[in-house]
Amino acid sequence: SAKKAGRGQYRFFDQSLNVTDAEAFHLEQAFPEALAKRQFVLHFQPQVCLETMRLSGFESLVRWQHPEFGLLYPDRFIDMAETTGLVIPMGLEVLRLTCEHLLLWRDEGLEVETVAVNVSPVQLTQPDFGATVLELLKSYGLQPRDLELEITETAVLDARAAEQIHILKNAGIVVSLDDFGTGYSGFAHLESVPVDKLKIDRSLIARISNSHDDSPIVSSTIILAKRMNLKVVAEGVETREQLVHLKVAGCDFAQGYHISRPIPADQVAGFIGKAVEALEEPV
Ligand code: C2E
Ligand code: MG
Ligand code: MG
Ligand code: MG
């Protein structure tokens, strides 16, 4: 870092370069080697089915085990990876790691139905993305139903991405629209790019509070989604009240700190063992 190099080194940085830019620059330089050395790791956040209160799957979330800076979360490097295109090889590594973990859990006899993987719009605009994902699954002996892909609104609005989404959906991969309710499109665009699931953004879920336990926006979103034959996932569920409200409102799945934080792969077996008791309590 600049500090380690000595006080004099600071003058080499342009004044307009803030700490974040300097960090992003450093991380960009280190990224290819990090990929080669397999420094990217996944954490897995459980998702539960609200009807049965059983585990329905996990979402994989990337972290960078940086040798100097420790465990870095995606807010530190995803934007840079998208701008530089490095998100393409990183995304492939995330898919590989997800498949490897899924196979290991199943070898241990753990029932993990699906793992959802976040996909950047930059990946989706690659004309071979769909084919690459399908080949990868095949090479691991996995089925399209083993994987879910989480896309964003930006991808829904891009014609090249829409083409890849069609390929993946037609092959039987479940596609979810992430962070729903934060952008501009709302429901109108969903008619042109059919997805299977909506993930209601945690900023909307946060409106469900103790004192104000009915959020008309969330309830209406669930009703509209149902009318469009979409499954609904609530993200960022942090309280029992939110969970109860969502269940009553007809939401299908929930994910959030109230259920579990994202956990490292080696804690997944322990979570599944515990989850059966803890989650089956009637809400
Ligand atoms: P996301 O896909 O919407 O993932 C949910 C984020 O919310 C995760 O942050 C998760 O740890 C956090 N979260 C989950 N439950 C709660 C809760 O109850 N309360 C609060 N406050 N937060 C909660 P994380 O892991 O830092 O990831 C941030 C974003 O980075 C993700 O948002 C996703 O857009 C992106 N990302 C993560 N992994 C990947 C990846 O492999 N590829 C790509 N392209 N993007 C990724
Ligand atoms: Mg996601
Ligand atoms: Mg989200
Ligand atoms: Mg997000």
pLDDT in tens, the chain (283 residues): 334 444 434 434 445 555 577 888 899 999 999 999 999 999 999 999 999 999 999 999 999 999 999 999 999 999 999 999 999 999 999 999 999 999 999 999 999 999 999 999 999 999 999 999 999 999 999 999 999 999 998 888 889 999 999 999 999 999 999 999 887 667 777 777 789 999 999 999 998 986 665 688 899 999 999 999 999 999 999 999 999 999 999 999 999 999 999 999 999 999 887 765 556 555 5
Contact by Cβ (8 Å): 257, 222: no
Region label for 181, one of left (φ > 0), alpha (ψ between -120 and 50) or beta (otherwise): left
- Predicted local confidence at residue 183, as pLDDT: 73
59 CA from centroid of ligand 2 (Å):
7
What is the per-residue pLDDT for 273? 76
Global pTM reads: 0.91
Cβ–Cβ < 8 Å for 143, 103:
no
The residue contributing the CA closest to ligand 1 atom 3 is 179
Amino acid present at 41 = V
Q: In a mutational test of the pocket of ligand 1, which residue from 42, 93, 118, 257 has the highest number of ligand atoms less than 8 Å from its CB? A: 118
Please give the pLDDT value at position 189: 76
Is the distance from CB of 108 to CB of 269 less than 8 angstroms? yes
Dist. CA 5 → ligand 3 center (Å): 39
Do residues 46 and 279 make contact, with C-beta atoms less than 8 angstroms apart? no
Distance (Å) from CA 179 to ligand 4 centroid: 5
| End-to-end Cα spacing for the chain | 50
- Closest atom, ligand 1, to C-alpha of 91: 42
Nearest ligand, CA 89:
1
Determine which helix (DSSP H) or strand (DSSP E) holds 66, and give its type and residue range.
strand 54-66
Q: Which ligand is nearest to the CA of 61?
A: 1
Distance CA 168, CA 132 (A): 10
**Residues in the ligand 1 pocket, defined by CB under 6 Å:** 45, 61-62, 73-75, 78, 87, 91, 94, 118, 120, 150, 178-179, 202, 235-238, 256-257, 262
Task: Tell me how far the alpha carbon of residue 10 lies from the centroid of ligand 3, in angstroms.
Answer: 37
Nearest CA to ligand 1 atom 30: 74
Distance 246 CA to ligand 4 centre (A): 19
- Assign 3-class secondary structure to 159-226: HHHHHHHHHHHHHCCEEEEEEECCCCCCCHHHHCCCCCEEEECHHHHCCCCCCCCCCHHHHHHHHHHH
Which helix (H) or strand (E) covers residue 60, if one does? strand 54-66
Which pLDDT belongs to residue 44?
Answer: 98
